[in-house]
Amino acid sequence: MTQSIPDWNAAIDRLDGAYAPATLRAYRGDFAVFAHWCEAENLPALPASPDTVAAFIAFHAQNLCANTVRRRLNGIRKVHRLLRMPNPCDDEEVLIAMRRAYRKKGMRARQALGLTRDIKAKLIDACDLTTVVGLRNRAIIMLAYDVMCRRSEISALQVEDLTPCDDGGLTLLVRRTKSDPLGEGRLAYASPQTRECVDAWLAAAGIKTGPLFRGFRNGRIKAQAINPASVNTIIKTVAADAGLPAATVEGLSGHSARIGAAQDLVCDGADLIAIMTAGRWKSVATVARYVEAALVRRVGVERLQRLVPASTT
């Protein structure tokens, strides 16, 4: 039936420039999955009935986590709204199907492993500083940790966004973030040690303007910025070179430095508001989920330290 339904790809094209490219890719991919499933089941995808969407949820909840199913539901909802069709996703049958999926699988999402300062030190030691690639990788890891940037933000940084500080560090203008889609921009700070790493990369690469971090082709530095997905690959590759366990390498991602820095701040005694400011988070719930293990550990240690003197008297 996908041949006869309205051009939903063209409808998503209307969002270009108003949403992040990753969001548009998610809408396209998720609705394509729904359209193909409807075709296989001989059901109309546009407009879809609440019963069709509920059946789609029930089918995919067997093998996918509930949050992935919810994301696909967002794609179905958005396409129907763009085409000004009745939205089936807010129907009670669909809400019941989602509650059933959550009760079956739970709402807890898989989280990337935190790249804490201990792991960071091992990765830095594994970077081959006799090569330009090694200098770049070290600078990416150091900067991502200091400024708690997402991989897309690391990719978007320009040399012109860096301002040296009198104390030897750097301030960075993070022009657009996931929580700042309109591009108001936020300032972040990097340590003197990180500035030295960034300067060493720029000097070795001969970069004076334009994208801060770039890829390589046939041994030569490209003019274009590094792809955000490459940040994942770099971190995993360096982690493997460092001899970290396979499970650790698998758990690390382009988001890990952001999570690990937040976890370290908790262990250092920072409160959630300070961490939200440093990482430019707007949701307390999101930050609390990232630092949950570190916070539980800190509270537990503090509690035991209070109990030990009382139990030995």
User: Residues 257-273: what's their mean pLDDT?
Assistant: 82
Q: Rounded to whole angstroms, how far apart are CA atoms 15 and 23?
A: 10
Enumerate the β-bridge partners of residue 225: 214
Confidence check: pLDDT of 65 > 90: no
Confidence of residue 80 (pLDDT cuts 50, 70, 90): very high
CATH of the domain at 34: 1.10.150.130
Judge if 284 and 151 occupy the same domain: yes
pLDDT score, position 91: 93
Secondary element (H or E) of residue 93:
helix 92-105
The continuous run of DSSP H or E covering 98 comes out as helix 92-105
Q: Name which of 267, 257, 256 is nearest 292 in CA terms.
A: 267
**Could you tell me if 84 and 47 lie in one domain?**
yes
Length of the chain: 313
Task: Indicate if 166 and 277 belong to the same structural domain.
Answer: yes
Sort residue 81 into left (φ over 0), alpha (ψ -120 to 50) or beta. alpha
Tokens of 195: 């500035």
CA 203 to CA 39: how far, in whole Å? 55
- What is the per-residue pLDDT for 1? 40
Provide the mean pLDDT of the chain: 84
Question: What is the rounded distance in angstroms from the CA atom of residue 119 to the CA atom of residue 141?
Answer: 11
Of 309, 248, 218, 293, nearest to 120 (Cα)?
Answer: 248
Residue 300: predicted pLDDT: 47
Say if residue 157's pLDDT is above 80.
yes
pLDDT at 4: 54
Confidence of residue 84 (pLDDT cuts 50, 70, 90): very high
Say how many domains are in the chain.
Answer: 2
Per-residue pLDDT of 228-251, as tens digits, reads 889 999 999 999 999 999 989 988
If asked whether residues 151 and 282 sit together in one domain, one would say yes
Distance CA 292, CA 275 (A): 13
> Residue 221, SS3?
strand
- Position 298 scores a pLDDT of 52
- Give residue-wise pLDDT tens across range 27-62: 999 999 999 999 999 999 999 999 999 999 999 888
In this model, does residue 276 exceed pLDDT 50? yes
CATH code for position 167: 1.10.443.10
Q: Are residues 186 and 266 in the same domain?
A: yes
- Give yes or no for residue 301 having a pLDDT over 50: no
Convert the pLDDT of each residue in 104-154 to its tens digit.
Answer: 765 545 566 888 899 999 999 999 999 999 999 999 999 999 998 888 889
Instruction: Provide long-range contacts, Cβ within 8 A and 24+ apart, for 165-173.
Output: 165/189, 167/192, 168/192, 168/195, 169/194, 169/195, 170/194, 170/195, 170/198, 172/143, 172/147
DSSP, res 90: G
